């Protein structure tokens, strides 16, 4: 598809190649080598290459317990008026209403949550043509980018080809494009009609993830349902890592809706869970992805653990409720009860906060509160909240907003204020804080997500266990290699790392250096700085303006002791930026640096291991 070639053209190409080069290529081989470079290498080879072997960390005969804890080792996302998870958390703490509103007319309400720049997509980074990229629903593009970011944060993006990684995700039907514009019965029309269901498989395809790619959809509970399926796959040893999430985007030209009495959308355009005058929900945007791993393996591999999934419950309301669309107290209670029953008794009492599904609909919120009261016997000590007051209802992606909020509450021990409460309900029986509150120490938390059609999910989280103390000898100089698919992207990455480092202690520098060296993709446009402190790193990274293309760098061999040569960009400017190639490393310095063979060799081994490629130095 990337080259605009259909199956008939494949057969013509195969026939011509076999005739011209006296080969017996099959159609499958043409499909498997679908770029000009790979196809020419295949034709030139005299023997068929062996398929890439998947190396897994987990012995297949190991049978983990069904209650195995699952670690969230990374997460990434964006929400209404929140470009990333840090801005999301800051907006929650500030009590910001992230819904965009314009003047409404009669029953036409103009209010929705928008994520900026969803139209921006670097098709060259993904080796897609502009035409192919423009065909793709923004939900496919944005979820792919979000998954890549989450894998980068996990440190496994560079190792993804050698691990069995599963993708579990779902999306809402899109308002992008018009399937009817394609010819009836054509593959393009079929693809356009079903594009939302390709979110996990398209992501797996583009990132070369070769575990199961499973589409999940249960309306509003899609994202958390995807996480439970990913946890099951990890517990059954089907995968080494799992990425899971959901997405629903409101397009900038689709912010208006017609208010209809008795339905779920708000007449006022404001979502107000737990308020006496709550009149419905507002559409919001949400995309999120988590990277999951069994906790025992995450601790073994020294992964950063953001939070731990201790247990979860799943249920469906079944037949006995008002309608297919309606919620049901018994079904929600059974879901929460099952989640609690997966914990030890003393852990149940540690749950101090529940992030509710609450959408601001009067009947739905009352049913959810009744189910919580029935399941949590000591409800008086629980604080509840709902992020939908801030960002609206993200439907298939909404569970990720509740999950990310809950992770941060555990990490920061702060509960953001519940906004849009003018007339607090006094009959709830739970605490609802309208100012920033403190989460008691050693607390656990839970998050609910209930979907139209009756699929209910309740997830219980805990903080990670304390990391063991490490007594490592600290390096005095740290190398920070950064890269991008273009020079501009590389510069932007430098600025992003510089912003991240601001306010951090020098102790963080070694961790950042190790991550950048060992656990990131190394793209064509590159820079590297050698620094000894956070201020120096920030200064040098902010000064980067001209990254080097990897293939433009060369290092000649010398004799004698090991040396690393460096040039001065200008005598007046002490900042020097150099590039990394696949086989070579240039360190920045102000003068020729003499490095002993004793010092150089272990450094070579360290960087060789980090880049998984040979390091060429002057020796």
354 and 271, same domain (yes or no): yes
404 and 515, same domain (yes or no): no
Judge whether 404 lies within some domain.
yes
Per-residue model confidence as pLDDT tens digits over 53-97: 444 444 444 444 557 899 999 999 999 999 999 999 999 999 999
Query: Tokens representing 430?
Result: 């739970």
* CATH number reported for the structural domain that contains residue 523 in this entry: 3.30.70
Mean pLDDT of 172-198: 69
**What predicted TM-score, i.e. pTM, was given to this entire model?**
0.80
19 and 98, same domain (yes or no): no
Give the DSSP H or E segment for 481.
strand 478-484
495 and 348, same domain (yes or no): no
274 and 179, same domain (yes or no): yes
Q: Which of 403, 438, 462 is a domain's end point?
A: 462
Judge whether 118 lies within some domain.
yes
Per-residue model confidence as pLDDT tens digits over 514-531: 888 888 888 888 999 999
pLDDT of residue 261: 84
Task: Give how many domains the chain has, as a whole number.
Answer: 3
Backbone φ and ψ for 34, nearest 5 degrees, come out as: -95, 20
DSSP state of 312: E
Judge whether 422 lies within some domain.
yes
Q: Give the range of the structural domain holding residue 570, as residue numbers without chain letter.
A: 478-611
* CATH number reported for the structural domain that contains residue 372 in this entry: 3.40.47.10
pLDDT of residue 105: 77
Judge whether 59 lies within some domain.
no
457 and 483, same domain (yes or no): no
227 and 254, same domain (yes or no): yes
Judge whether 616 lies within some domain.
no
225 and 107, same domain (yes or no): yes
380 and 486, same domain (yes or no): no
Judge whether 380 lies within some domain.
yes
pLDDT of residue 180: 60
Q: What is the largest CA-CA distance in the chain?
A: 85
Judge whether 61 lies within some domain.
no
Judge whether 352 lies within some domain.
yes
344 and 278, same domain (yes or no): yes
Q: Which of 462, 488, 506 is a domain's end point?
A: 462
Q: How far apart are CA 577 and CA 606, in angstroms?
A: 21
Per-residue model confidence as pLDDT tens digits over 270-299: 999 999 999 999 999 999 999 999 999 999
Query: Tokens representing 604?
Result: 């070579």
Per-residue model confidence as pLDDT tens digits over 8-54: 566 677 777 877 777 777 755 665 566 777 778 777 774 444 444 44
Query: Tokens representing 174?
Result: 């899109």
In 3D space, the residue among 579, 345, 246, 302 whose CA is nearest the CA of residue 465 turns out to be 302
Per-residue model confidence as pLDDT tens digits over 346-361: 899 999 999 999 999 9
Contacts with 596 (C-beta within 8 Å, 6 or more apart), sequence order? 561, 562
Asked whether the CA dihedral 535, 538, 539, 541 is positive or negative, the reply is: positive
Query: Tokens representing 614?
Result: 């040979």
313 and 343, same domain (yes or no): yes
Confidence of residue 611 (pLDDT cuts 50, 70, 90): very low
User: Cα–Cα distances in Å, from 78 out to 94, 220, 424, 457?
Assistant: 17, 17, 29, 22
457 and 489, same domain (yes or no): no
């Amino acid at each position: 598809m990337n080259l605009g070639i259909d199956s008939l053209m494949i057969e013509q190409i195969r026939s011509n190649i076999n005739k011209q080069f006296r080969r017996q290529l099959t159609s499958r081989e043409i499909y498997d080598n679908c770029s000009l470079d790979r196809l020419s290498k295949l034709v030139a080879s005299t023997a068929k290459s062996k398929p890439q072997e998947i190396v897994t960390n987990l012995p297949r005969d190991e049978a983990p317990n069904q209650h195995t804890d699952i670690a969230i080792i990374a997460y990434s996302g964006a929400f209404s008026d929140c470009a990333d998870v840090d801005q999301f958390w800051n907006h929650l703490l500030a009590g910001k209403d992230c819904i965009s509103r314009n003047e409404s007319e009669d029953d036409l309400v103009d209010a929705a949550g928008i994520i900026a720049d969803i139209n921006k997509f670097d098709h060259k980074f993904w080796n897609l043509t502009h035409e192919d990229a423009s065909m793709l629903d923004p939900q496919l593009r944005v979820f792919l980018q979000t998954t890549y970011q989450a894998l980068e944060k996990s440190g496994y993006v560079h190792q993804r080809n050698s691990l069995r990684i599963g993708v579990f995700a779902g999306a809402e039907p899109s308002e992008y494009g018009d399937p009817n514009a394609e010819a009836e019965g054509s593959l393009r029309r079929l693809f356009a009609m079903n594009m939302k269901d390709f979110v996990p498989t398209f992501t797996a395809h583009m990132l070369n993830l070769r575990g199961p790619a499973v589409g999940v959809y249960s309306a509003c509970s899609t994202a958390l349902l995807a996480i439970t399926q990913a946890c099951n796959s990890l517990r059954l040893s089907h995968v080494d890592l799992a990425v899971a999430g959901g997405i629903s985007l409101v397009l900038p030209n689709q912010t208006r809706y017609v208010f209809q009495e008795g339905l779920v959308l708000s007449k006022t355009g404001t979502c107000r869970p737990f308020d006496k005058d709550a009149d419905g929900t507002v559409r919001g945007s949400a995309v999120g992805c988590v990277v999951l791993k069994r906790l025992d393996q995450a601790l073994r591999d020294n992964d950063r653990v953001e939070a731990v999934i201790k247990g979860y419950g799943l249920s469906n309301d079944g037949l006995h409720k008002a309608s297919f669309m309606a919620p049901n107290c018994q079904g929600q209670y059974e879901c929460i009860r099952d989640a609690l029953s997966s914990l030890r008794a003393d852990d149940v009492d540690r749950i101090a906060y529940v992030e509710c599904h609450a959408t601001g609909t009067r009947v739905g919120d009352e049913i959810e509160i009744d189910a919580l009261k029935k399941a949590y016997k000591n409800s008086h000590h629980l604080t509840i909240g709902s992020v939908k007051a801030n960002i609206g209802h993200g439907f298939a992606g909404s569970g990720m907003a509740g999950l990310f909020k809950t992770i941060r509450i555990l990490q920061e021990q702060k509960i953001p204020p519940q906004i849009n409460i003018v007339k607090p309900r006094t009959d709830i029986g739970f605490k609802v804080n309208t100012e920033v509150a403190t989460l008691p120490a050693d607390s656990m938390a839970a998050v609910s997500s209930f979907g139209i059609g009756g699929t209910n999910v309740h997830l219980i989280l805990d903080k990670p266990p304390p990391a063991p103390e490490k007594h490592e000898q600290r390096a005095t100089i740290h190398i920070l290699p950064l890269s991008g698919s273009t020079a501009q992207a590389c510069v932007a990455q430098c600025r992003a790392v510089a912003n991240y480092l601001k306010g951090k202690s020098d102790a963080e520098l070694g961790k950042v250096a190790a991550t950048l060296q060992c656990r990131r993709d190394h793209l064509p446009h590159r820079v590297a700085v050698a620094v000894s402190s956070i201020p120096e790193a920030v200064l040098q990274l902010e000064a980067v303006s001209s990254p080097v293309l990897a293939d433009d760098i060369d290092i000649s061999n010398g004799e004698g002791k090991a040396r690393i040569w460096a040039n001065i960009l200008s005598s007046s400017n002490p900042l020097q930026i150099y590039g990394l190639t696949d086989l070579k490393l240039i360190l920045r310095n102000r003068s020729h640096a003499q490095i002993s063979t004793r010092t150089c060799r272990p450094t070579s081994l360290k960087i060789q291991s980090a880049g998984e490629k040979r390091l060429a130095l002057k020796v």
